[in-house]
Amino acid sequence: MIAILGNTLLLMSFAFTVYGILSATLYTANGNRKFMLSGERAILSSSVFVILSTIGLLIELLRSNFTLEYVARYSSAETPTLYKFSGLWAGMQGSLLFWVMILSVFIIMVIYQNRNRHQKLMPWVLITLGVIQLFFLAMSNFFENPFTPIPAGMVMNGMGLNPLLQNPVMLIHPPLLYLGFIGFSIPFAFGMAAMITGELDTVWIRTTRRWTLVTWLFLSVAIIMGGRWAYVELGWGGYWAWDPVENASLLPWLTGTAYIHSVLIQEKKNMLRIWNMVLIMVTFTLTIFGTYLTRSGVVSSVHAFAATDLGVWFFWFIVLILVTNIILLVIRRKELASVNRLESFVGRESGFLFNNMLFVAMMLTVLWGTMYPILSEAVTGTKITVGSPYFNRVMIPLGLLLLFLTGVGPLLAWRRTTTRSLRRNFTLPFIVGLILTGIFGAVSKMTLIYPLISVLLISFVAAIIFLEFFKGTKARHRMTGAGYLKSFFELLEKNRSRYGGYIVHLGIVMMFLGFTGKVFDKEADLSMNQGDIKTVGHYDIEYTDYWLETPETNPDTRSNHAAKIVTLKISKNGSYYTTLNAERRFYTDQNNQPSSEVSLKATLFEDLYIVLGSLDLHSGNAILKVRVNHLVSWVWLGTFVLILGSLVSLNIGGLIKGKSL
């Protein structure tokens, strides 16, 4: 019954989307408002059908209804209820439905928010979003249908969820990533509408400003949460490996970040109009490209889905987007030409432009490194691996340049910055940076150039940010006579965009501090028997106990897996520090597939990171990987600060009160 209902809802959604696109197109041809209203209602109905079908699939996952092939593949009777939610996006069919469901929610929001606004833009916004929705509905209806039935009683229990996905972070990371990817559809649709109608002023940018910022925030947090998942689940000791699918999420973030900065120039100075249009077009195209990479089978990744025939359809959809974008850019090239020009290389406009160039250079670097093995195999038949050394060699200097501009750019004056202003704004932060770098070099005995430059720039940019808050708060205090704390919050309230941006930049500075700590990491592979004590860095690791837990001995917490466990007593600098339990799990509903659970003791300055590779229950011999990772917590703390800054910029209070995105 659910298979029939789910398929009916998806087919109805497909049909209503087709009708909505045609009806809105007729409105653009004859101006009859009835066609526009009919098209809106059709797209709204289609979106509601998609949401209902997604809810239906989720209910069947929670019920463990194994008469659906998708449920049988990605759930089991033993799968914990919490992780049955993850089953919704664990497989190809469910993830595509989830994708179009989020887009449908966004479409409903856009239609509701703009029901009495932007009469010229909205028909083409609706058509653009309808075409995107139609493509994914076609994939769900005719190629990867999540409601494919199997005869009742044929499957008594499902295959269960991939053990790597049975982690709390994977309840957060994929939805945020989808929100980030799909959210860029909205500014793209408004950009397309502006191009088609010739309404090329800043209206479409102002209308989608909050959409873009919220989308960017979702994608930023999703990328970091993906790093957190890799850190605590995959067991290799890091959080970013330049994996192709990791790169696919980074690509639109880079161009999206460039776009967020660049539109400020268009709004303030009516410059970079064609550049901004290209950026939003490229950003949206890269979100579809990232979706293509994960679903086409062209790359091998722990994040990717199995190879399917969808890659061909995604490829041609990307071609359609690119051709349409190029045609519109050629047609509107004269209207998009900027009236004003750069007046100085030492001005805020130039700072933003250099910032944009760096982001685009980083995007092209990552894109080339990601696609080169695929292109090489297609041309020569030999697949060449492009690993971390290539990415690090190019991206580290680009990243440091970007960090420098993060501090310098906002303090440059519009049009032209005087030498006096440069000295006033940057002398003290530069001195602070030199002093702190000298202290760091002396204490750590660091001689590598990149970590020293990184510490110098981190100190320099952090000093600039704190000085800006100090000077602004002090000026506010003098002007109003209010206390310093009240003056600080009034400062934030009066200029949310500027000071929220500073907080975001501070979060990024904190992340760079975490990245820099990697140079101090230590690693050791240990073979230990019960009672052994071994030393890694300033930690003494004593192997005190081991045992086996099974679903029978511990059904409450191990309903779908058994676990071999070792207990380790940790001393630091000769004193007791903590006790850790490291696990090697074997998932019974996945043919006893093994998975190591990271045992982690994290502090502000370093993490003790232990992975159990194997345990012989007869002899008690354990193989352990032990890492001492430095400053990793600053990456996660920086994420919280980035979120805080974004919420300040967005005026979250206004959003809660119902102001439009």
Enter the tokens of residue 588: 């019974």
Cβ neighbors of 466 (< 8 A, separation 6 or more) are none
- Can you tell me the distance from the alpha carbon of 315 to that of 319, in angstroms, rounded to the nearest whole number? 6
Q: Is the pLDDT of residue 34 over 70?
A: yes
User: Residue 402 — pLDDT band, cuts 50, 70, 90?
Assistant: very high
- Can you tell me the distance from the alpha carbon of 307 to that of 43, in angstroms, rounded to the nearest whole number? 31
Residue 386 DSSP symbol = -
- The rounded Cα 23 to chain-centroid distance in angstroms is 35
pTM for the model:
0.93
Angle at 45 between CA 39 and CA 48, to 5 degrees: 145
- The number of CA neighbours under 13 Å toward the Cβ of 657 is 6
Alpha helices in 449-574 (DSSP H): 449-480, 484-494, 496-516
Q: Is the pLDDT of residue 661 over 70?
A: no
- Can you tell me the distance from the alpha carbon of 111 to that of 293, in angstroms, rounded to the nearest whole number? 31
Looking at residues 315-331, what average pLDDT do you find?
95
What integer pLDDT is reported at residue 342 of this predicted model?
62
Exposed e or buried b for every residue in 44-68, given b needs 16+ CB within 10 A? bbbbbbbbbbbebbbebbbebbbbb
Looking at residues 274-299, what average pLDDT do you find?
88
- Regarding predicted confidence, which is higher, 20 or 308? 20
Which residue, 284, 130, 129, 131, is CA-closest to 219?
284
Tell the burial category of 621 from Cβ atoms under 10 Å away from its Cβ (0-12, 13-18, 19+). Answer: middle
Instruction: Report phi then psi at 201, rounded to 5.
Output: -75, -160
- Can you tell me the distance from the alpha carbon of 332 to that of 337, in angstroms, rounded to the nearest whole number? 9
What integer pLDDT is reported at residue 571 of this predicted model?
96
Bridging pattern class, strands 606-615 and 593-597: unpaired
Angle at 358 between CA 353 and CA 363, to 5 degrees: 125
User: Residue 414 — pLDDT band, cuts 50, 70, 90?
Assistant: low
Tell the burial category of 289 from Cβ atoms under 10 Å away from its Cβ (0-12, 13-18, 19+). Answer: buried
Query: What whole-number percentage of the chain has pLDDT above 90?
Result: 65
Looking at residues 443-472, what average pLDDT do you find?
93
- Edge to edge, what strands does the sheet with 533-536 contain? 533-536, 539-549, 561-572, 575-587, 593-597
User: Residue 298 — pLDDT band, cuts 50, 70, 90?
Assistant: low
Looking at residues 603-620, what average pLDDT do you find?
95
User: Residue 517 — pLDDT band, cuts 50, 70, 90?
Assistant: very high
Weakest mean pLDDT among 9-18, 219-228, 309-318, 322-331: 309-318
What integer pLDDT is reported at residue 588 of this predicted model?
86
What integer pLDDT is reported at residue 307 of this predicted model?
53
pLDDT (tens digit per residue) in 251-270: 999 999 999 988 888 887 77
The dihedral through the CA atoms of 628, 631, 633, 635 has a sign that is: negative
Q: Would you kindly state where each structural domain of the chain is located, as residue ranges? A: 1-162, 167-360, 396-518+635-656, 520-633
pLDDT (tens digit per residue) in 49-108: 999 999 999 999 999 999 999 999 999 888 888 899 999 998 889 999 999 999 999 999
Enter the tokens of residue 440: 């760091």
Which residue, 534, 539, 519, 529, is CA-closest to 603?
539
- Can you tell me the distance from the alpha carbon of 56 to that of 67, in angstroms, rounded to the nearest whole number? 14
pLDDT (tens digit per residue) in 324-341: 999 999 999 988 887 666
Q: Is the pLDDT of residue 303 over 90?
A: no
Ramachandran category for residue 99: left, alpha or beta (phi over 0 → left; psi -120 to 50 → alpha):
alpha
End-to-end CA distance of the chain: 39
Cβ neighbors of 552 (< 8 A, separation 6 or more) are none
Q: Is the pLDDT of residue 648 over 80?
A: yes
Strand-pairing partners, residue 564, are: 548, 584
H/E/C letters for each residue in 108-146? Answer: HHHHHHCCCCCCCCHHHHHHHHHHHHHHHHHHHHHCCCC
Ramachandran category for residue 57: left, alpha or beta (phi over 0 → left; psi -120 to 50 → alpha):
alpha
Which residue, 443, 444, 407, 410, is CA-closest to 428?
407
- Can you tell me the distance from the alpha carbon of 539 to that of 535, in angstroms, rounded to the nearest whole number? 6
Alpha helices in 234-309 (DSSP H): 244-269, 273-296
pLDDT (tens digit per residue) in 150-200: 887 788 888 888 888 888 998 999 999 999 999 999 999 999 999 999 988
H/E/C letters for each residue in 610-651? Answer: EEEEEECCCCCCEEEEEEEEECCHHHHHHHHHHHHHHHHHHC
- Can you tell me the distance from the alpha carbon of 487 to that of 476, in angstroms, rounded to the nearest whole number? 6
Enter the tokens of residue 144: 């990867």
Which residue, 12, 209, 43, is CA-closest to 128?
43
User: Cα–Cα distances in Å, from 180 out to 103, 219, 223, 285?
Assistant: 11, 4, 10, 13
- Edge to edge, what strands does the sheet with 599-602 contain? 522-528, 622-630, 606-615, 599-602
Q: Kindly report the number of other CB atoms within 10 A of residue 490's CB atom.
A: 17
